[in-house]
Amino acid sequence: MKADSRNTSTGPEGGSPRVKKILMIGTSPQTKGGIASVVMVYRAAGLFERFPIDYLTTHCDGGKLKKMRTMLDAYVRFLYLLMLGRVGLIHVHTASRASFWRKSFFFLLAFAFRVPAILHLHGAEFEAFYGNECGGIRRSLIRFIFDRVSRVVVLSGAWQSWVRMITVNPHIVVIFNPVLLPVAITPWDARQRGDVLFLGRLGKRKGTYDLLDAAAKTVRAHYDLRLVFGGDGEILQTQAHAKQLGMEDHIKMLGWVQAAERQSYLSSAMIYALPSYNEGLPMSVLEAMAAGLPVVSTPIGGIPEAVTDGVEGFLVTPGDVDSLADRLQRLLQDDDLARRMGDAARRKVETTFSSDVILPKLERLYQDLGSRSKSVG
């Protein structure tokens, strides 16, 4: 069979062809946030073992000098591999603002070298970034890149509809974020009664203050409740708001919770709450569902494709504190309802969002663009 020039290159001195690499490009998997969490699931589920993937880190935690050095190192390595003809495909994870502009250089070089490119869009605020923060020239550059990539991967049908409004590219594919299923979930009677868990960056966008206001209403209605906040961001402001509400004895601040620790908190809570104003498809919601928790969230981004109101949890309008308090109270007072919703959430992940369901879709996308798994000779 004739070798496919898109995914092989000649070895030294005319030797046997070498499989070209897939370069996955994004923030360091050790950073905080959704992209890092997704990449860690890819690794844990064996994607990097099945395909010839190298990961290029374009961003990291730390000071400006460290971040600049990380970005420049990625650019240099990418250009070097392109010039050697070793790149068969790039898979670029991007959010909005600085994340997108950092990645634009990789797309432009890939176009110049005729390398297929996947733009994997994660940023919850990309619509606002594009529509409100970019002038005509920047919007033109964004459209130029979206129009020319081989595939645009989005996290939900709602995002797919929006992206179609800004690009003529017909290849816009929905691939949900994957989650690893815990082998077993904690029995309901072994969970910490009244614990409502929140994981994410504390602040208005994630609905942190709305959640505190709703929790205060719930406590005043004589419900036993404790908010467990796991995240960075506006920690001091959150504590000050809790004190203002007289809720300081009903909150626990964990700081940022690493992946290895998250499962213990997901296993002990009774409810997961994320009343956000902007989201893509939050990994924390999927992880909570996989752990058998009912979810109280908002119908924005890809969340309604994970949580059906009244089935796997409840969805309330962002900023509707009274409805948020009502849904928390319904779950706290009705164990059977909370357990049924948690069981439904676990089943939804098993059938729709588990890594076993999602990764084959991504692998087929790689194959459609000319990349081969390591098992193919």
The reported pLDDT for the residue numbered 33 is 85
Picking from 338, 336, 350, the residue whose alpha carbon sits closest to that of residue 183 is 350
Residue 274, SS3 per DSSP: strand
Compute the half-sphere exposure of residue 331: CA atoms within 13 Å on the CB side of its CA.
32
What is the Cα–Cα distance from 261 to 265, expressed in whole angstroms?
7
Tell me the average confidence (pLDDT) per consecutive run of 10 residues in the chain, 377 residues long: 44 57 95 91 97 97 94 97 97 96 97 98 94 97 98 96 97 97 90 96 97 98 96 97 97 91 94 96 97 97 97 98 98 97 98 98 98 79
* Residue 228 structure tokens: 């467990």
- Fill in the amino acid letter for 47: L
The reported pLDDT for the residue numbered 178 is 97
Domain 8-178+355-368 annotated CATH 3.30.420.40: no
The reported pLDDT for the residue numbered 17 is 55
Query: What is the model's pTM?
Result: 0.92
Contacts of 190 (CB under 8 A, 6+ apart): none
The reported pLDDT for the residue numbered 374 is 85
**To which H or E segment does residue 229 belong?**
strand 226-230
> 188-353: same fold as 8-178+355-368?
yes
- Each domain of the chain, given as residue ranges in start order, spans 8-178+355-368, 188-353
- Number of other CB atoms surrounding residue 322 within 10 Å: 11
Picking from 373, 316, 366, the residue whose alpha carbon sits closest to that of residue 24 is 366
Of the candidate CATH numbers 3.40.50.300, 3.40.50.2000, 3.10.310.10, 3.40.30.160, the domain formed by 188-353 belongs to 3.40.50.2000
